[in-house]
Structure 1
């Protein structure tokens, strides 16, 4: 990939605003069985969210896993961008490979085996021959070609960049850089053999292919790409999808509930439960009340009700999972508890065209990452200084902490108000003539607490910070137009490669639509271009792109580029990382939930077991 190509403008961001708004993108821990650190919604339930704990869908005689989820927009795998969507897609669809246990381990699903060429660019998949979709269609190599072509070519796709750019499957583009339909390097070389050709070797290729956007559909099920009329209308498919996974679609009411039931002809191990039901709720208090009424089996606990003193960790395993109990709850029950550091990062972002450099650096000086962790997040966030999660830092977590302690320019583990004040005075500001900018976030108690603390600290450094909130879609419009000064956000990684998150710091991905020569949406609205530091970031990103092999030489080169890019961001403070949210799961003792890993929100629920006699009806 040439420097001019960069990472192509991401179409999906017109729908999501990317990472820059709230921690609900695919890969983030905001599903029904994990607790995001950001609370989306007000502190008081709306009339439509109030509940007496009665589920709208009865269990009947089935064993039903009862979860809480927020609203989703689609169940089409190529259009999903939110974890609320991906969690459901993961139950109804399988890909060639996947991570059904939410760990880093890649498992063959529809693929029986995979061979990789010596140069690392050709992946040959031999498929199982006993896979039948939920509509009775046989799944063969042509179904894979169709599904991946649809990911690349459909106007409904929000993840085409993952296939074409991040994974780098060979393809052709027109004079405007758009994908040429039918040119994808995915070929059926036999009835059950598929060959995938990459433009260059990439050590994380199979990791990316495990993403939910790469799942396999029955060939021709939707007619939204060239050559296919479609067996069902697109609107029908997005709301009643036909998949290949262990559960099949039962019901979906976007603002109320969703459910799937076991698929009797599944080729793999049959699920231990009959059904999964999600009750749709957005307000944290409504979710908690629903759980305390024992109308759900697995649930989140919002920060307002969370008490770290109620956590008892009985075991920490070899991948860092903390296993124990939480309680007593308000209903006197004790919940089973699981916690693991997820592949996510939390930060404050700035539109560098709107907020001057001294003010951005003043924020960095006053922000105490450790204080944020213990205060606003009640210890549910690990303090950090890099966009790269510590588990992926070259040399591991201790090396990450050492690099930050020795190199972070704005004070490690402290708040330096005097340096912030001096910086703003040198820039010509004073108490009688303060600098002003706005922070705008989605509603939530955690966001409010962080913003309020920053406002109070910055007022002593001659900065007047205005705090506002807006719903998700409004934030997107403002950010893409370049009208969002700053905000709090988080990014959940879908695969374990630092490039997945460091793409946010590639300057070409940060230019908003009010930036000269930009017509598409950015990856994040920083407008971080035109400085020496941003040029170093550009060079570091390109170095990583050019050295993606799984060799010691390439790993060392990438390690140096990661440090260079992170330090360039420190210099200009386009993004200020302050920590890494943990994934936590709380479940009642009548349900046995297998432990997940760093990608837990996308686990399959096939191995869940429920004591139906103990489970309240």
Structure 2
């Protein structure tokens, strides 16, 4: 899912008054504390930080900040609750796959109920998956119809025919799913939060359902089937869920999960240093690689150790794994001309960004596909970039950028102008300022603006974010998951007449030769999803064509692959995570409430 990195700063100022809950020191209370005040700490609340969200509707959401909450409230048939390889059963109690790899039959728990007590069964699955394909609110139809490739009908314009999807309720607790062709990663896709199961008819945004709740009502207070039920959400301030007592599976070991929403990562860091949260991240501006000690490395590459002493003097637990995420600069191709996008590529030094701006916490990259998933692996990715990247490998050339802009008719007296819009973040600020300084010598004047995350998203999806920095965390280990950002139909933002394209990322990368190449390459990858020997060769060739098509137009410029990290205080014990990152279902958390401030 899309994620824009949190903001960071270098000051050591106290937590702002409006974010100080009065428990921001190690002092757990005065001698005259009342019994009622003492008893209040017996409730186990996992305290976390998060960024803003704009919806809790699973198929409409594209943000990791919302996904973290969605994972708690909703179940999927099968999931990856700790971000590790392999799937585990959630609503499903078992499944069978036909010999030809086309039909998946799921048996559902007979004890599953929604948070309002209603039984959940096969018809709820059919309804939920139909919403992914047919709802105007969905941003994820491609995930179901193209990536997973569920058999379905299309009209003369190639659009999905509602109700034609091959997802059938065989009986109350059996669901049969039929694919158009075998796909080795089918179960991995079904574990994505997009496939969360909602009570049948809860909203009426597809044919045949009037809806029990208004759509906005549901997205603000969602009703699910997961181990936690929705408690509260104050936009831009906080979110909370509470343990669901009648959960059909392994219930939560904490009573509540609370997220403080803080956009500025300097404030996030100070909030964490005052021990107001149990687990947190450390922004690069405050990160010191010399304070990280790795004591053990798991078989999956997860590094386990400690970090510190941190600003408040504590040592904290530390987990790190090379994840499946990619960082990039994105452009609205309608608003930033191609020569300017290429000029940015010429002046951007990926190694400098990784080693200077990020202090070595990320690996430099040139493909949207993470190097570990590139055909042939990291060495092949490096070789391909070194030999083929059109804008200089491991170098920056202001001269080439200037030449491109002069060929396009620009000069010192007639500079080109565009805006970079980010969330507040000192690392993003450093990268953007460096690009601005270099581009100023290439007849480009860059203005740099910041906005709250929700405002930034509103501008991007409305087609009013010319350029900016972003990050995408993958939900399963298949390049299609990130290359979906480059599939042209997924990039169209709301047009001038208000017609929305429900973009994954608003590039508006359409109607160019390179974008057509990318579209054809995507189709080829989908057609060869079996990945047998012959299909894999065609699939790998198409992946490279898609990456090179993006290089041609610079719709997006990848520059790094970040690791997944988590820092946590010693009074909380949280499950370890895998290569898909630290987003977990928080059912296996243990908190020492006596030690927790």
TM-score by length of 1: 0.85
Give CA-to-partner distance per residue, 1:277-312, whole Å, 9 cap, x none: 222222223222221121211112223322222212
1:338 shift after superposition: 1.1
For the pair 1:312 / 2:293, whether they are aligned, the reply is yes
SS of aligned partner of 2:319:
strand
Find the counterpart in structure 1 of residue 320 from structure 2.
339
CA–CA distance in 2 between the matches of 1:332 and 1:523?
42
For the pair 1:266 / 2:235, whether they are aligned, the reply is no
Q: 2:87 aligns with which of 102, 106, 109?
A: 106
- Summarize the Cα distance change of 1:217–1:603 in structure 2 as closer, same or farther, 3 Å threshold: same
1:372 shift after superposition: 0.7
SS of aligned partner of 2:42:
coil
SS of aligned partner of 1:268:
coil
For the pair 1:559 / 2:540, whether they are aligned, the reply is yes
Unaligned segments of structure 1, at least 5 residues: 1-25, 29-35
- Summarize the Cα distance change of 1:402–1:516 in structure 2 as closer, same or farther, 3 Å threshold: farther
Q: Is the 8 A contact 1:65 1:273 kept in 2?
A: yes
Find the counterpart in structure 2 of residue 162 from structure 1.
143
Give CA-to-partner distance per residue, 1:523-580, whole Å, 9 cap, x none: 4444445555444333322211211114232222211111122122223322211011
Q: Is the 8 A contact 1:145 1:187 kept in 2?
A: yes
Q: Is the 8 A contact 1:348 1:486 kept in 2?
A: yes
CA–CA distance in 2 between the matches of 1:47 and 1:600?
30
For the pair 1:275 / 2:268, whether they are aligned, the reply is no
CA–CA distance in 2 between the matches of 1:196 and 1:365?
47
- Summarize the Cα distance change of 1:399–1:63 in structure 2 as closer, same or farther, 3 Å threshold: same
- Summarize the Cα distance change of 1:444–1:163 in structure 2 as closer, same or farther, 3 Å threshold: same
Find the counterpart in structure 1 of residue 31 from structure 2.
none
Q: Is the 8 A contact 1:74 1:85 kept in 2?
A: yes
CA–CA distance in 1 between the matches of 2:500 and 2:70?
31
SS of aligned partner of 1:291:
helix
CA–CA distance in 2 between the matches of 1:279 and 1:102?
23
SS of aligned partner of 1:91:
helix
TM-score by length of 2: 0.88
Q: Is the 8 A contact 1:53 1:289 kept in 2?
A: no
Find the counterpart in structure 2 of residue 131 from structure 1.
112
Instruction: Determine which structure has greater relative contact order: mean sequence separation of CA pairs < 8 Å that are 6+ residues apart, divided by chain length.
Output: 1
For the pair 1:580 / 2:590, whether they are aligned, the reply is no
SS of aligned partner of 2:314:
coil
Q: 1:187 aligns with which of 156, 168, 171?
A: 168
Find the counterpart in structure 1 of residue 196 from structure 2.
215
Q: Which moved more, 1:100-109 or 1:215-224?
A: 215-224
For the pair 1:39 / 2:1, whether they are aligned, the reply is no
Q: 2:270 aligns with which of 289, 293, 297?
A: 289
For the pair 1:468 / 2:468, whether they are aligned, the reply is no
For the pair 1:302 / 2:283, whether they are aligned, the reply is yes
Q: Which moved more, 1:93-102 or 1:138-147?
A: 138-147
CA–CA distance in 2 between the matches of 1:115 and 1:47?
54
Find the counterpart in structure 2 of residue 12 from structure 1.
none
1:603 shift after superposition: 1.2
CA–CA distance in 2 between the matches of 1:478 and 1:155?
20
CA–CA distance in 1 between the matches of 2:573 and 2:201?
38
- Summarize the Cα distance change of 1:82–1:53 in structure 2 as closer, same or farther, 3 Å threshold: farther
Find the counterpart in structure 2 of residue 196 from structure 1.
177
Q: Is the 8 A contact 1:340 1:582 kept in 2?
A: yes
Q: 2:384 aligns with which of 384, 390, 403?
A: 403
Q: Is the 8 A contact 2:303 2:321 kept in 1?
A: yes
CA–CA distance in 1 between the matches of 2:327 and 2:191?
24
Q: Is the 8 A contact 2:45 2:255 kept in 1?
A: yes
CA–CA distance in 2 between the matches of 1:569 and 1:530?
13
Unaligned segments of structure 2, at least 5 residues: 25-36
1:500 shift after superposition: 2.0
1:367 shift after superposition: 1.0
SS of aligned partner of 1:294:
coil
Find the counterpart in structure 1 of residue 587 from structure 2.
606
1:187 shift after superposition: 0.8
SS of aligned partner of 1:600:
coil
Q: What pairs with 1:330-479 in structure 2 (closer than 5 Å)?
A: 330-472=311-453, 475=456, 479=460
CA–CA distance in 1 between the matches of 2:493 and 2:53?
26
1:501 shift after superposition: 1.8
Q: Is the 8 A contact 1:591 1:611 kept in 2?
A: yes
Question: What is the number of residues matched between the two proteins?
Answer: 583
1:519 shift after superposition: 6.5
CA–CA distance in 1 between the matches of 2:123 and 2:412?
68
Q: RMSD value over aligned CA atoms? A: 3.2
Find the counterpart in structure 1 of residue 27 from structure 2.
none
- Summarize the Cα distance change of 1:326–1:59 in structure 2 as closer, same or farther, 3 Å threshold: farther
Q: Is the 8 A contact 1:129 1:140 kept in 2?
A: yes
Q: Which moved more, 1:582-591 or 1:61-70?
A: 61-70
1:368 shift after superposition: 0.9
Q: Which moved more, 1:340-349 or 1:420-429?
A: 420-429
For the pair 1:593 / 2:574, whether they are aligned, the reply is yes
Q: Is the 8 A contact 2:531 2:539 kept in 1?
A: no
CA–CA distance in 2 between the matches of 1:331 and 1:45?
12
Q: Is the 8 A contact 2:79 2:87 kept in 1?
A: yes
Give CA-to-partner distance per residue, 1:39-65, whole Å, 9 cap, x none: 28998999785425549x995422221
Q: Which moved more, 1:529-538 or 1:123-132?
A: 529-538
Find the counterpart in structure 1 of residue 152 from structure 2.
171
Q: Is the 8 A contact 2:78 2:92 kept in 1?
A: yes
CA–CA distance in 1 between the matches of 2:10 and 2:521?
41
CA–CA distance in 2 between the matches of 1:238 and 1:522?
18
Q: 1:506 aligns with which of 469, 475, 487?
A: 487
CA–CA distance in 2 between the matches of 1:483 and 1:612?
47
- Summarize the Cα distance change of 1:45–1:564 in structure 2 as closer, same or farther, 3 Å threshold: farther
Q: 2:233 aligns with which of 220, 228, 252?
A: 252
Q: Which moved more, 1:398-407 or 1:328-337?
A: 398-407
1:485 shift after superposition: 3.7
Q: Is the 8 A contact 1:347 1:488 kept in 2?
A: yes
Find the counterpart in structure 1 of residue 222 from structure 2.
241
1:235 shift after superposition: 5.1
SS of aligned partner of 2:329:
strand
Q: Which moved more, 1:307-316 or 1:244-253?
A: 244-253
Q: Is the 8 A contact 2:146 2:526 kept in 1?
A: no
For the pair 1:51 / 2:20, whether they are aligned, the reply is yes
CA–CA distance in 1 between the matches of 2:22 and 2:373?
41
- Summarize the Cα distance change of 1:396–1:319 in structure 2 as closer, same or farther, 3 Å threshold: farther
